Structure 1
Amino acid sequence: MQKRRRFKQTTTLRERLADEAERCREEARKLAPGPRRDMLLRQARRDETAMQIDSWLRSPGLRAPT
């Protein structure tokens, strides 16, 4: 059985998602309107949504279902 290659993340998930969203938006700004630009903007929105979900899941008010 193969061993999984594991490594520790040096930044939080939120930081990585924010960096990726900013990178996508920056690259989209350089492109003319088209499918590639739309794809980059969609990915940036997905990253921002993932940041919101992560914040919600880590909020102290979150309770386990009963």
Structure 2
Amino acid sequence: MFKRRRFKQQLTLQERLAAWSKQVQDEAAKLPPGPDRDALIKKARQADVANHLDDWARSPGLQPPK
């Protein structure tokens, strides 16, 4: 049977998303305006939204359904 390789993440999901978003934004800033740059900006925006959704899901004000 095949055994999966597993490892512990050193950074939290939020930290990884923020770092990746920053990296993609820096790459996009180096490109001239066009579809490639727009695609990178869109990916960075999606990472920011995912980070905010994770914050919202972990917020103490969010109550489970009764």
Q: What TM-score, normalized by structure 1, do the two folds share?
A: 0.94
Q: Give 3-state SS (helix, strand or coil) of 2:65's partner.
A: coil
C-alpha distance in structure 2 between counterparts of 1:2 and 1:54, whole Å: 32
Over residues 16-51 of structure 1, what are the superposed CA-to-partner deviations in whole Å (9 max), with x where a residue is unaligned? 000011001000000001111011000000000000
CA RMSD of aligned residues (A): 0.8
> Partner residue of 2:36?
36
User: Corresponding residue for 1:19?
Assistant: 19
- Displacement over 3 Å in runs of 4+: none
Q: TM-score, normalised by structure 2?
A: 0.94
1:59 matched to which residue of 2? Answer: 59
DSSP-derived class of the 1:3 partner? coil
User: What is aligned with 1:5?
Assistant: 5
Name the % identity.
53
Structure 1 residue ranges without an equivalent (≥5):
none
The answer for unaligned runs of 5 or more in structure 2 is none
